[in-house]
């Protein structure tokens, strides 16, 4: 696979070509996903739960993201790689620049940060230094205490308007991609249509430009209660490779997510 760039992802949006993304945290899975044609990988702070065994993402530190980003980059040298800035690693502009430098040096193409209006100056500073930034709104796991748990966001009119306003403001500030998590399908569609940058959904319906799932959810190996918007692709595929191929196919064709896996 040739190297995937942000320009290519923007062209896919323009030409209404949907794409699949997935999380990865190590060399072996990153290589497997890349070999099957996954164009976008996220080394997310979800590793706090999937790899470290914590109940949230809040314990993850920059050194953890650095370590796993390096491993993923070795396994998927041509994949477009996003990496999260973890909790409290970007609380002001100076800290955000310091944290971002570490992650970009580890091999990421783009960093992802959670939040709305308060991020404007940080995003501008990063963008001015030619750093690609992905926003993340809706259910933002780093704020799960403030949000009183993992709940669908944007259900009422005022919350929906705030998310739309945040999305537009973040794009104006310089983000080059946006993740919308656990928001109603209709709202995700409206945000996607109003932005010129790629919008990736998770638990947000089929109308976004791309879809992303945590690899453990996609492969059906998540312990305990599983998010209702996730689908076990491995159970009906026979191998991890075929599960990834099926996931890519269903996202491209608009088959996944259907109503069963949407709000």
For 6-261, CATH gives 3.20.20.60
The parts of the chain modelled with pLDDT lower than 50 are none
The helix (run of H) or strand (run of E) holding residue 248 is helix 240-252
Annotate 180-224 with three-state secondary structure. Answer: EECCCHHHHHHHHHHCCCCEEEECCCCCCCEEEECHHHHCCCCCC
**CA dist 232 → 115, 227, 262 (Å):** 29, 11, 15
Could you report the per-residue pLDDT of 137-160, keeping only the tens digit for each?
A: 999 988 766 555 567 899 999 999
Does the predicted model carry a pTM greater than 0.85? Answer: yes
pLDDT at 226: 85
181: annotated active-site residue: yes
pLDDT at 147: 59
pLDDT at 145: 66
Please state, in angstroms and rounded to a whole number, the distance separating the CA atoms of residues 112 and 179.
9
Q: Which two tokens stand for residue 213?
A: 């799932």
pLDDT at 146: 57
Annotate 30-50 with three-state secondary structure. Answer: HHHHHHCCCCEEEECCCHHHH
Q: Comparing C-alpha atoms, which of 206, 211, 203, 178 is closest to residue 263? A: 203
Please state, in angstroms and rounded to a whole number, the distance separating the CA atoms of residues 134 and 45.
14
- Given 66, 125, 171, 181, which residue is catalytic? 181
Delimit the domains of the chain by residue range: 6-261
**Number of CB atoms found within 10 A of residue 129's CB:** 11
């Amino acid at each position: 696979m040739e190297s995937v760039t942000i320009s290519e992802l923007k062209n896919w949006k323009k030409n209404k070509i949907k794409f699949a993304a997935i999380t990865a945290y190590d060399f072996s899975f990153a290589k497997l996903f890349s070999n099957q044609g996954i164009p976008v990988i996220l080394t997310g702070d979800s590793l706090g739960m999937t790899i470290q065994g914590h109940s949230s993402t809040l314990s993850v530190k920059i050194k953890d993201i650095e370590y796993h980003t390096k491993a993923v980059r070795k396994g998927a040298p041509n994949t477009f790689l996003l990496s999260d800035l973890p909790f409290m690693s970007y609380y002001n502009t100076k800290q955000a620049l310091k944290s971002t430098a570490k992650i970009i040096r580890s091999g990421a193409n783009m960093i992802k940060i959670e939040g709305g209006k308060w991020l404007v100056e940080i995003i501008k500073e990063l963008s001015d230094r030619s750093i690609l930034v992905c926003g993340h709104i809706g259910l933002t796991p780093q704020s799960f205490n403030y949000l009183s748990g993992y709940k669908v966001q944007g259900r009422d009119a005022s919350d929906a308007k705030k998310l739309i306003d945040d999305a537009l403001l973040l794009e104006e500030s310089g983000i080059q991609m946006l993740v919308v998590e656990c928001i109603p399908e209709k709202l995700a569609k409206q945000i996607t249509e109003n932005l010129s940058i790629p919008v990736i959904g998770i638990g947000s319906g089929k109308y976004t430009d791309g879809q992303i799932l945590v690899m453990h959810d996609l492969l059906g190996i998540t312990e305990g209660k599983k998010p209702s918007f996730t689908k076990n692709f491995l159970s009906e595929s026979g191998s991890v490779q075929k599960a990834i191929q099926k996931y890519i196919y269903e996202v491209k064709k608009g088959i996944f997510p259907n109503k069963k896996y949407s709000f």
